[in-house]
Structure 1
Amino acid sequence: MITKAFIFDLNGTMIDDMQYHAEAWYHILNNDLNAGLSWDEVKAEMYGKNDELLVRIFGGDHFTKEKIKELSIEKERRYQKAYLPNLSLINGLREFLEKAKQQRIPMAIGSAAIPFNIDFVLDNLKIRHYFQAIVSADDVTISKPDPETFTKCSELLNVSAKDCIVFEDAPKGVEAAANAGMETVVLTTMHSQAEFKNFKNVIAFIKDYSAVGPGDFLRN
């Protein structure tokens, strides 16, 4: 086997929750901060770290670091409260993870989420034991599309970048994987296939994990 490890983005890739994130940001940006953004404008900013999003919208000098942290935590609290009753893995993923574990495929999570959110998912769904490494927003200097999130995962797994397959749902994440020299499987939970037409590192599009297994992405 050439492919030796799987790296999963979290939001939109393991759980179908991006609508809840967008709604939480929409209300904070517009109702609390008077940004005056449309739904599509908010959706377009849904990548990278929370502080990066705020800087993109308001500029680097608008908020103190303390205020950015406060806004970030408040956004995640609202997201978690709204999403918790519906928290579940994308269809077929638990079985996919179990099969990969049985096949001894190392797995990591590489996410722009803060640990507060990653822990919310892993501990409520009881899936932490499947992953040998977790890289969060707090572990990188620059988030996706910078490749650091995924290259750190490969380093922690002790697997070369070219031998990792990334599971992603967002164009910026696929770009980060390309920048890391990694192939990508795209989940079409939030974005259409057409939005990925310029990426050469996409090897498959799937709507969920119900019809695939780890062996489908292991190349001889």
Structure 2
Amino acid sequence: MTNHKPKAFLFDLNGTMIDDMAFHNHTWHNILTQDLGAKISFDDVKKQMYGKNQDLLERVFGVGHFSQEQIDQISIEKEYRYQAAYKKHLTLIAGLGDFLNQAQASGIQMAIGSAAIPFNINFVLDNLKIRSYFKAIVSAEDVTNSKPDPETFTKGAEILGVAANDCVVFEDAPKGVEAALNAGMPCVALTTMHTQEEFGDYPNIIAFIKDYTDPALQQLF
């Protein structure tokens, strides 16, 4: 853990604030294989779940396979199915509510930096009533280049008016950790979807946690 006290926390959303990535994985696997005819395993879908929905479709099928209209239709259908399946399970990862309160009381600014579309971000923030904690929200629609490009996190820090090295990113995906690294930001990695070994040796990881009850997080305050 760092001795440098951060001024801002930047949170990825899915898999980082809520433990929902298995629902995304199942929904994508069903759409890719049953609706679209892709020959892809469940585990391979898991490896492709980073960045924007369009980026995922282009990695699986190739650039130009779908029109932009088709991509938009597939993307929103996927999110409707995901939300229908996940809504009754919607809850913050253990300890996060208290952690958000502690950060706010400590004067630490907070932002969301997610590759999700606003439709999904609003689904989480409004149903869990946590929007008031965040002074900046950066979604897939706010960036040109998705993770592992640093734009999601650099834009969040810019909106908050905080330097990169004064931020700590919270992420659950290796490509998200890489985006934080490319932004020059230390990162706390959550092992909700990936094991510690799957993250490799990113030098900006300052802690691995299962959830926000981990006492190591107190060193950030």
Normalising by the smaller structure, the TM-score range is over 0.9
Runs of 4+ in 1 over 6 A off after TM superposition: none
Q: Is 2:136 the partner of 1:128?
A: no
Q: Separation in 1 of the partners of 2:171 and 2:215?
A: 15
- Counterpart CA distance in 1 for 2:167 and 2:151 is 14
CA deviations on 1:12-49 (whole Å, 9 max, x unpaired) are 00000000000110000000000011111111111000
Q: What residue is the counterpart of 2:18 in the other structure?
A: 15
Counterpart of 2:169 in structure 1 is: 166
Q: CA deviation at 1:215?
A: 3.9
TM-score relative to the length of structure 1: 0.97
Confirm or deny: 8 A CA contact 1:147 1:179 kept in the other structure.
yes
- Residues in 1 aligned to 2:42 and 2:61: alpha-carbon distance in whole angstroms: 17
Determine helix, strand or coil for the equivalent of 2:82.
Answer: helix
Is the 8 Å Cα contact of residues 16 and 171 (structure 2) preserved in structure 1? yes
The DSSP-based 3-state class of the residue aligned with 2:99 is helix
Determine if the alignment matches structure 1 residue 31 to structure 2 residue 41: no
Partner amino acid for 1:42?
Answer: V
For structure 2, the 5+ residue unaligned runs are none
Which of 209, 212, 217 aligns to 1:209? It is 212
Residue 77 in structure 1 maps to residue 71 in structure 2: no
1:175-214 map, 5 Å: 175-212=178-215
| Offset of residue 216 of structure 1 | 1.8
Q: Secondary structure at the match of 1:199?
A: coil
Question: Root-mean-square deviation (CA), in Å?
Answer: 1.1
Distance 1:80 1:29 in 2: 17
SS of the residue aligned with 2:215?
Answer: coil
% of aligned pairs identical? 63
Would the alpha carbon gap of residues 211 and 19 (structure 1) be closer, same or farther in structure 2, given more than 3 Å must change?
same
State the shift of 1:197 in Å.
Answer: 2.7
Alignment gaps of 5+ in structure 1: none
